[in-house]
Amino acid sequence: MSVDKTSANVDETPSQDDPVVENPEAAAAAVTAVDPRLLVQQEGLVGYWHEFKRKMKAGELGSLPVVVGLAVICIIFQVLNSNFLSAQNINDITITMVGTGMISVGIVFVLLLGEIDLSVGSVSGAASALAGVLAVNQGWPEWTAVLIAIAAGIAIGALHGFFFAVLGAPAFAVTLAGLLFWLGFMLKVLGADGTINLDPNGLVGRLTTYYFSDVAAAYGLAVVVVAVFFLTSFLANRRREAAGIPARPLTDTLLRTVLLAVISFAAAYMYNQYKGLPLATVIFLAFLIATDFVLRRTSYGRKIFALGGSVEASRRAGINVTAVRISVFAISGGFAAIGGLFLASKIASANQSAGTGDLLMNAIAAAVIGGTSLFGGRGRTWNALLGVLVIVSIQYGLQLESIAEPVKYMITAAVLLTTVVIDSITRKTQKTAGRA
C-alpha cells in the first residue's frame, strides 16, 4: 500500500521532538530580545548611570580617561598660574599642536593595523626641506612645491608599506631604516647651510600666522560644527530606528549637542579675545572630520579595523590585505609631510633639526594617550586631537612654571605609561566580558 507523502509533509501533529509553546508571550519576547551589549541607555540620569556602570564593567572606557586627565591638567595649571587659560596661551597651544597632531593622525591609521611607523619624524623633516628648496632655492611656485612635498611623503609611506606588506619585512625594522635614511636625505637636501628661511607671507609661512579676525568667523564655525553634529547624530538614530536597531534616545543626542556647543562657543570666545580664529585650527579640524568619516563611514575604513582585529580573518573575507596595508602607510607618510609643513611654518624655516628631537615620541604618544590601542583595531582620529592637547598643555603649563626640560620628559613619559597600562587593563577586561 502506498504512502501519501504530501499529507505526511503537511501533518501538523506535534511530535515528541517538537517544542511545545506553553507561553506565547514569553516566546515572542525571547524572539525579539536584543543582545544586552547592544542596548542603549534608558532615559534620564538613571539611564546614564546604568550605562556608565555597564561600560566600566565591560572595559569600554573610550576617551573618558584622557578627557578627565585633560580637565585635571587644566585645573592644576590654572591654579598654579592664572595665565594658563588665557586667550593668548590657549591660542599658542592650539597652534603649536597642529604640526604634531597632523603627524599623529597618520600614526592612528598605522596603529589601527597593530603596527608602528618610526619614520614619520624624518619624513616630516624631509618634506619641509624639499618644499623649502623647491620654493626658495629653485624659485618654483610655492603651491607646486607644497604639493610635491606632500606627494613625496605619500610615496615614501607607500614604499615603506611595500617592503612591509609585499616583501614581509617587519614594519618596525622598515620604518626604523626609513627614519635614518630620510634624515640623511633631509640633511643632504638642505646642504651645507643647513637652514632655508621661508617667506613669512608665503603659503607655508601663513599656515600658522593667518587668522580670521572677523568675530563672526569663530562663532560661525562653532554653529556649523554643532549643527552638523546634531544633524548627523539625529539622522543616524532615525536610520537605526527604521532598521529596527537600538538607537540613542533623543535626550542623549541633545545632551551631547549641548556639551559640544558649550565647548565650541567657549573656544570661539577665547579665540576672539586674542587675534581671531587661526587658519591652522580650521585646517586641522577639517582633516579630523574627513579622516573620521573615512574610518567610520566607508568600506575602506571598516577594512582597516578588520585588519587590526585579525589579518587572517580579513584575508578569508576577501579583503586585499596587501593593498590596504600599503595605503595605510602611504596615508601615514602623507600626514607626516603635512605636519612637517606646519612645523616649518611655526619657525618660518626648514632646518636640520626638523623632524628630530622628541617629535616622533610626541606623535606616537599623542595617538596612544588619546585612546588609540597599541594592539590594533580600536581608535579614532579624534584621539590624535585629545592626545596632542594633553602633551602640549603639559609642556606649556610646565613652561609657565619654568620647570626644567628633563622634568617635562619624565612627566610626559609617566602620562604615556599610565595610558598604556590603562589600555592593557581595558583589553583584558574586554576579553573577560567577551567584547574582544
Q: What is the pLDDT of residue 316?
A: 92
Q: What is the pLDDT of residue 185?
A: 93
Q: What is the pLDDT of residue 288?
A: 94
Nearest Cα to Cα of residue 86 among 273, 265, 236, 264 = 273
| Residues 291-337: tens digit of each pLDDT | 999 998 899 999 999 998 888 899 998 999 999 999 999 999 999 99
- Which grid cell sits at 100? 604634531
| Distance set, CA 138 to CA 83, 197, 297 (Å) | 44, 13, 42
Helices (H), 193-298: 215-242, 250-272, 279-297
Map residue 81 onto helix, strand or coil.
Answer: coil
Q: What is the pLDDT of residue 250?
A: 82
| Distance set, CA 321 to CA 160, 244, 306 (Å) | 15, 33, 10
Query: What whole-number distance in Å separates Cα of residue 134 and Cα of residue 144?
Result: 9
CA 78 to chain CA mean position, Å: 27
Contact 44, 410 (CB under 8 A): no
Q: What is the pLDDT of residue 423?
A: 66
**What's the helix, strand, coil split of the chain in %, to 5?**
70, 0, 25
Q: What is the pLDDT of residue 429?
A: 66
Contact 273, 87 (CB under 8 A): yes
Q: What is the pLDDT of residue 379?
A: 86
- Beta-carbon contacts of 370 under 8 Å, excluding residues fewer than 6 positions away, are 63, 66, 104, 379, 382, 383, 384, 385, 386, 387, 388, 390
Determine the residue type at 368.
V
- Which grid cell sits at 89? 596661551
Query: What whole-number distance in Å separates Cα of residue 174 and Cα of residue 167?
Result: 11
Q: What is the pLDDT of residue 398?
A: 87
Q: What is the pLDDT of residue 175?
A: 95
DSSP for residue 190: H
Q: What is the pLDDT of residue 42?
A: 53
Map residue 313 onto helix, strand or coil.
Answer: helix
Q: What is the pLDDT of residue 20?
A: 47
Q: What is the pLDDT of residue 200?
A: 87
Q: What is the mean pLDDT of each run of 10 residues along the chain (436 residues)?
A: 44 46 47 46 58 61 75 90 91 93 96 93 94 91 94 97 94 94 92 85 91 93 93 88 81 88 93 93 94 92 91 91 96 96 92 84 89 83 90 89 80 78 69 56
